[in-house]
Chains A and B, each alone.
Chain A
Amino acid sequence: MSVVADPDLGEEPREPAGVVPVVVLDDVWRVFPTDPPVEALRAVHLRVDPGEYVAIIGPSGSGKSTLLNVLGLLDRPTGGTYQLDGIDTAALGDRARAAERGRRIGFVFQSFHLLSYRSVEENVMLSELYLGTSRRDRRCRAVEALERVGLGHRLGFSPIRLSGGERQRVAIARALLGEPSLLLCDEPTGNLDSANTAAVLDLFDDLRAQGLTILVITHDTEVAARAQRRVRMVDGQLAEVA
């Protein structure tokens, strides 16, 4: 289960070591054209290497969510370059961005975003729906992913019948499907009590140990403390926290 960038991609390795960083943000700006214009991201530089576990902390309104949207290919920066797995995302069209988003990024949201009318297993299978893989493969991998997060016994359940912690673990299993290069988590414990928060954070530790690249956005210092590297965002600018 290697999540190191695929060497078959054909892009020239940019580093002498041959390791392609998962994320490279170079002088990224995101300005919303309101009156007056809002500079949500100002000259952001960020490099995330494979296997890193990074927490982005900062007060609300500091631009954390905007950064996550840019990183998740949900939003385009107004300036600067963003390379994901060595691919310059500015060159990608709308459909190609959707495809890369589906293949390379796993999202974990604060509000889980599970479909209440589908079973746990189907919710996880949804992740590879737009990759065109066969349904049987998808089902196998969904069961595998659910077992990985400790929910192998909840396959046919409706998400409505699960606790908050279990729901978030289902969402993480969904994000893991398709072997993404980057797990993007937006306040993953924001809706959870302390016991469930601990369970989810333990799971992140496990995943990190298995080599997954994780980027968590949070304003919870306890969550941030578990990450190996912390980055603080203030007024659209990023600074490493020692």
Chain B
Amino acid sequence: MGAARPRPRLRFADLLDETLAGVFARPARAALTTLGTVLGIASLVATLGISRTAGGQIVGRFDELAATQVTVSARTAGSGSSSRAAATLPWDVELRLDRLNGVVASGAVAEASNPGSLRTVPLIDPQNVTERLVPVFAGSVGLLDAVRGRIATGRWFDAGHVERRDRVAVIGADVADQFGIDRLDRQPGVFIGDEIFTVIGILDAAPRDTGLVQSVIVPFTAGQDRLGITRPDRVVVETVIGAARLVAEQAPVALNPNAAEGLKVTAPRDPARTKDAVQDDVNQLFLLLGLISLVVGAIGIANVTLVTVMERTGEIGLRRALGASRRHIALQFLAESTAMGLVGGIIGATVGIITIVGVAGSREWTPVLDLWLPLAAPFAGAVVGLVAGLYPSVRAARMEPVDALRAGT
């Protein structure tokens, strides 16, 4: 004891002990004080998390379909009834486009302008319709893959059908339902107007062009022969992810080198820009709200800590009498306000994450959470508490022990 330096010391564990005791001395007050920080941190975490989730979701949808799709169609020159295509599209698009880097599949399609109504072979069946107007398309071989189509029964037409100008047809699943066609082993036929076609397949789904499921598709050669179709309306291209913009530049030239500028290309927007735009929209207001409630929370902590300092004047005097230095007093109140901020940050982060999961669940989104967010939130809360405690703890440290002892009981 004799050799001890005359310096007051405070162990970290003891400081922690004093801090917890100080905070939990008035649990209801501490809880209400932290509420501001809880709300601020929760709204910040929820805002950042939800916009991240929503942004990820939209980009995710782009990836799924639109981001890998390029559509080329002919521009129209002139106006009204005198309008005509400024450039023509060829039918052999697979040959021209599939060589391009980044193209997965391509196909051309044209709609018949006046196909006449669709009917099956005459059969008296009261349960099924026998005649109906259905859109009719002529397509190239690659169309199925280009629209990500899926065949339920039978098959898609191939190059042989095209070359032989076979009168075959693939009908959409909805059409098959309406006409009661469910099996193809007896080679059912359908009349389009007066022309008969053999049904060789039923198209179950076509995510890129859902209209095809409600229509009849024939090879383009048969369409030219029987349905008066001349040129494709549009060319659909599936690309690998990230190649869409490149393909969009090259496709018109490959399709019609002489009049590439007469073709209109539809390509996805830049995904990054889309994401930014979405996040900007969602974020601004809520981030502002979160920051405001954080400031309000900080003021709340500062206020309550100041009141606490005034209430505990006697305690401050006593601690000074027991050998506490000014910095020990400051440290204690700073630690108490920081602890309140930290607890507020932890609870706030929890509430925020629950909100993210709740919102994502209600929208059937996948919740996306940056890992740094739940880690940074308690830290931010602690900083708020620390800053809020600065002024009150300086006030506490500046008190003269004599005055503090006299004032407090």
User: Interface on A for B, CB 8 Å cutoff?
Assistant: 6, 8-10, 69, 72, 74-75, 92, 94-96, 98-103, 105, 107, 109, 111, 113, 115, 117-118, 122, 126-127, 129-132, 135, 174
| Interchain CB contact under 8 A, B321 and A101 | yes
| Interchain CB contact under 8 A, A100 and B10 | no
Q: Is there a chain A Cβ closer than 8 Å to B355's Cβ?
A: no
Which A residues lie within 8 Å of B117 (CB)?
none
Which A residues lie within 8 Å of B323 (CB)?
98-99, 101-103, 129-131
Q: A117-B25, A132-B9, A132-B10 are in contact. Are A94 and B321 (CB under 8 A)?
A: no
Which A residues lie within 8 Å of B9 (CB)?
130-132
Interface residues of B in 1-40 (CB under 8 A from A): 1-11, 13-14, 17-18, 21-22, 25-26
Q: List 23 A-B contacts (CB under 8 A).
A: A8-B3, A10-B2, A95-B6, A95-B7, A95-B8, A95-B325, A99-B6, A101-B321, A105-B321, A107-B321, A113-B314, A113-B315, A113-B321, A113-B408, A115-B315, A117-B25, A117-B26, A126-B319, A129-B10, A129-B322, A130-B324, A130-B328, A132-B10
A126 to B3, CA, bound (A): 23
B321 (CB) vs chain A CBs: closest residue = A107
| Interchain CB contact under 8 A, A130 and B322 | yes
A96 to B323, CA, bound (A): 9
| Interchain CB contact under 8 A, B405 and A98 | no
B324 (CB) vs chain A CBs: closest residue = A130
Interface residues of B in 329-367 (CB under 8 A from A): none
| Interchain CB contact under 8 A, B7 and A99 | yes
A98 to B328, CA, bound (A): 10
CB distance from B406 to the nearest CB of A (A): 8
Q: Is there a chain A Cβ closer than 8 Å to B241's Cβ?
A: no
A10 to B409, CA, bound (A): 39
A115 to B324, CA, bound (A): 16
A95 to B328, CA, bound (A): 10
A98 (CB) vs chain B CBs: closest residue = B325
Which B residues lie within 8 Å of A115 (CB)?
315, 318
Which A residues lie within 8 Å of B10 (CB)?
129-130, 132
> Known contacts A95-B7, A102-B322, A130-B322; can you find 20 more A-B pairs with CB under 8 A?
A6-B2, A74-B321, A94-B325, A98-B325, A99-B5, A99-B323, A101-B323, A105-B321, A109-B318, A109-B405, A117-B21, A117-B22, A127-B322, A129-B10, A129-B319, A129-B323, A129-B324, A130-B8, A130-B325, A132-B8
The 8 closest A-B pairs by CB, nearest first: A102-B323, A8-B2, A132-B9, A117-B25, A130-B323, A96-B6, A98-B325, A99-B6
Query: Main SS of the interface on chain A?
Result: helix
| Interchain CB contact under 8 A, A96 and B402 | no
A118's contact among B14, B21, B405, by CB below 8 Å, is which?
B21
B328 (CB) vs chain A CBs: closest residue = A130
A115 (CB) vs chain B CBs: closest residue = B315
Which A residues lie within 8 Å of B401 (CB)?
74
Q: A6-B1, A118-B21 are in contact. Are A74 and B320 (CB under 8 A)?
A: yes
Which B residues lie within 8 Å of A105 (CB)?
321
A135's contact among B1, B2, B13, B21, by CB below 8 Å, is which?
B13
A72 to B402, CA, bound (A): 10
CB distance from A115 to the nearest CB of B (A): 6
Which B residues lie within 8 Å of A126 (CB)?
318-319, 322
| Interchain CB contact under 8 A, B321 and A72 | yes
Which B residues lie within 8 Å of A129 (CB)?
10, 14, 18, 319, 322-324
A118 to B318, CA, bound (A): 14
Which A residues lie within 8 Å of B25 (CB)?
117
Which A residues lie within 8 Å of B320 (CB)?
74, 98, 101
| Interchain CB contact under 8 A, B8 and A98 | yes
Which A residues lie within 8 Å of B409 (CB)?
111, 113
Which B residues lie within 8 Å of A103 (CB)?
1, 4, 6, 323
A92 to B13, CA, bound (A): 28
A163 to B208, CA, bound (A): 86
Which B residues lie within 8 Å of A117 (CB)?
21-22, 25-26
Which A residues lie within 8 Å of B7 (CB)?
95-96, 99
Q: A98-B324, A102-B8 are in contact. Are A74 and B2 (CB under 8 A)?
A: no
A74's contact among B1, B22, B325, B405, by CB below 8 Å, is which?
B405
Which A residues lie within 8 Å of B314 (CB)?
111, 113
B11 (CB) vs chain A CBs: closest residue = A132
A127 to B323, CA, bound (A): 8
B18 (CB) vs chain A CBs: closest residue = A129
Interface residues of B in 361-409 (CB under 8 A from A): 401-402, 405, 408-409
A102's contact among B5, B14, B317, B324, by CB below 8 Å, is which?
B324
A55 to B248, CA, bound (A): 102
A75's contact among B317, B318, B402, B408, by CB below 8 Å, is which?
B402
A94 to B401, CA, bound (A): 12
A135 to B22, CA, bound (A): 18
Interface residues of B in 291-340 (CB under 8 A from A): 314-315, 317-326, 328
A158 to B21, CA, bound (A): 13
Q: A8-B2, A99-B323, A126-B322 are in contact. Are A113 and B8 (CB under 8 A)?
A: no
B401 (CB) vs chain A CBs: closest residue = A74
A129 to B326, CA, bound (A): 14
CB distance from A61 to the nearest CB of B (A): 14
Which B residues lie within 8 Å of A98 (CB)?
8, 320, 323-326
Which A residues lie within 8 Å of B318 (CB)?
107, 109, 113, 115, 126
A98 to B409, CA, bound (A): 21
Which B residues lie within 8 Å of A135 (CB)?
11, 13-14, 17
A127 to B318, CA, bound (A): 9
A7 to B1, CA, bound (A): 11
A187 to B7, CA, bound (A): 30
A101 (CB) vs chain B CBs: closest residue = B323
A191 (CB) vs chain B CBs: closest residue = B409
Which B residues lie within 8 Å of A130 (CB)?
8-10, 319, 322-325, 328
